[in-house]
Amino acid sequence: MRTIDIFDTTLRDGEQSAGINLNTAEKLEIARQLERFGATVIEAGFPASSPGDFEAVEKIASIVKNSTVTGLARAMKSDIDTSWEALRVAQQPHIHIFLATSPIHMEYKLKKSPEQVVDIAVEAVKYAKKYFPLVQWSAEDAFRSDPEFLVQIINKVIQAGATTINIPDTVGYATPQEYGALFKFLKENVTGIDRVKLSAHCHNDLGMAVANSIAAIENGADQVEGTINGIGERAGNAALEEIAVALHIRKDFYKIDTGVNLQEIKRTSQLVSRLTGVAIQPNKAVVGKNAFAHESGIHQDGMLKNRETYEIITPELIGETVAPLSLGKHSGRHAFKDRAISMGFELTDEQINEAFAQFKKLADRKKEITEEDLFVLFTGKQIESADVPIYDLQNVQVQYGTSNIPTATVSAVVPTGEEVTVATTGSGSVEAIFNTLELLVKGEVHILDYRVTSIGKGRDALGEALVNLSFNGEVFAGRDVSQDVLEASAKAYLNAINRKLLKEKLKIKEPAIG
């Protein structure tokens, strides 16, 4: 059976999409999970774009052992030098250099002739080879490039030492037939193409990213790039969990193996959704909430008689098990710690103690502690940043009645270290809290999106709040979990503001590529 490499760019192309801003601890947590998921390559970021990205790439490169870690770089020496600094600690240093090759990008964006573009690409790859054993070169906007020109530049880049050639459909314009044909053409016309890996990178603007990726595989691609849940710029990237499950379920047809640990799909998907704040549409293939729900009577009847009548994928395949949870109110610290370890968390003794105290408090208030609750609790501990929160909520109180004006009172520790209490009104409880917090943070805040969801089932389920806001013109997403949704909302609001302040502290620039 042929094996295809899975190149995950959740932390680079995915993180680049509107409103997502992950801190280093969150990126590390996602990288650890991507390693468990079985990604062949993890693109951890764009080291030269900001000190924050550099730090995250370096940390990920030093802890991830079973996946190759890479970083993105423009075709310039300074980017390659910076990438080396971040990636030299990796077990198998890998760099991803990109340069546009389509007429529109070369003329208007790069303002370079095709000959100049060839020279820049060759120079960059040669320079990178001095440091990196693995050099991937991407022809940005390859699908809209002249195929003859692609053959010419790829010939030279392979000679210069590239080990992987990526052919992205940067703007999501391709159809499966055309994209497959381009791979076939390159396979037949590029000298030495069989010595390197050929990679596909698709965007979902026309809803064809997964289909295009699979068409590329059928026509010779050795690697597919994408993100978990298909997040990414505009309509997103190809969803890796969909590709992995499609190739698995239709093994009879494709005869391809990906090395993905399918059992980790659910957890990876949930973690990425929770930390990025990007919700999964309920009807999304493989990981949507309704992906395994059978509503119609005829279907339910069929399912009862034989599940295979209407079910081609089982929830168990992607790790959605309802394992009985043996932990409860009376469980001891030892069993609790064992559970954390068996769920793959690496917490210090101090973190275990803190998590255990939170667990006991929760067990007092909540009838049944679920696997999901524990997952949220452990993840929360693991990503707790060493940076002290800049605004730290101490207390929130709301007075609400159907016939009087809601008033919120909030106490919080502010950046100067003092505790401040403010109060004001709003037309509803949440608005009163948000109005009060706006007084506290002293800036112009617009709420762009606000969602509250429950974690798991039941009336005593934990509430998760997500606030997408603009603070003095910049957009940030914040989230938090609490047993009370009003408290979760206030914390999520401050979480977004803290991200803004943390970003300023690190002077993070926006990467500007697709």
> Among residues 17 and 399, whose Cβ is nearest to Zn ion?
17
Going 430 to 436 to 442 to 444, the CA torsion angle's sign is positive
Whose CA is closest to 70, among 179, 187, 197?
A: 197
Residue carrying the six token digits 């803190």: 354
Closest distance of CB 221 from Zn ion, Å: 15
> Among residues 5 and 13, whose Cβ is nearest to Zn ion?
13
Closest distance of CB 417 from Zn ion, Å: 42
> Among residues 13 and 480, whose Cβ is nearest to Zn ion?
13
172: helix, coil or strand? coil
29 touches Zn ion (CB under 5 A) = no
> Among residues 389 and 514, whose Cβ is nearest to Zn ion?
514
**Considering CB under 5 A, how many residues would be counted as binding Zn ion?**
1
In our burial notation (b when 16+ CB lie closer than 10 A, e otherwise), range 482-501 reads beebbbbbbbbbbbbbbbbb
Q: Kindly give, in sequence order, each residue whose CB lies less than 8 Å from that of residue 210, ignoring residues fewer than 6 positions away.
A: 202, 204, 226, 230, 238, 239, 242, 243, 246
Q: How is residue 280 written in tokens? A: 């999964």
140 touches Zn ion (CB under 5 A) = no
Closest distance of CB 286 from Zn ion, Å: 21
Asked if 256 and 232 touch (Cβ cutoff 8 Å), the reply is no
Q: Where are the alpha helices (DSSP H) in 49-146?
A: 51-63, 77-87, 103-104, 114-129
Region from 8-16, 142-150, 321-329, 390-398 binding Zn ion, contact rule CB under 5 A: 8-16
Closest distance of CB 9 from Zn ion, Å: 7
Region from 5-13, 106-114, 264-272, 317-325 binding Zn ion, contact rule CB under 5 A: 5-13
> Among residues 13 and 373, whose Cβ is nearest to Zn ion?
13
CA separation, residue 12 to residues 95, 468, 506 (Å): 13, 20, 18
Closest distance of CB 87 from Zn ion, Å: 20
Region from 13-21, 114-122, 147-155, 337-345 binding Zn ion, contact rule CB under 5 A: 13-21
- The residue length of the chain stands at 514
C-alpha 219: how far from chain center: 28
Quote the strand ranges of 230-360, DSSP E: 256-257
Q: How is residue 127 written in tokens? A: 């320079």
Instruction: Select the residue interacting with Zn ion from 4, 5, 11, 13 (CB under 5 A).
Output: 13
**CA triplet 499, 500, 505: central angle to 5 degrees?**
95
Q: How is residue 151 written in tokens? A: 């053959």
Q: How is residue 147 written in tokens? A: 């195929």
Closest distance of CB 271 from Zn ion, Å: 21
> Among residues 295 and 510, whose Cβ is nearest to Zn ion?
510
Region from 6-14, 151-159, 258-266, 495-503 binding Zn ion, contact rule CB under 5 A: 6-14
Closest distance of CB 169 from Zn ion, Å: 9
Region from 12-20, 36-44, 271-279, 427-435 binding Zn ion, contact rule CB under 5 A: 12-20
**CA triplet 284, 290, 294: central angle to 5 degrees?**
130
> Among residues 15 and 487, whose Cβ is nearest to Zn ion?
15
Closest distance of CB 52 from Zn ion, Å: 20
480 touches Zn ion (CB under 5 A) = no
DSSP 38: T
Q: How far apart are CA 424 and CA 432, in angstroms?
A: 6
8 touches Zn ion (CB under 5 A) = no
> Among residues 27 and 59, whose Cβ is nearest to Zn ion?
27
Binding site for Zn ion (CB under 5 A): 13
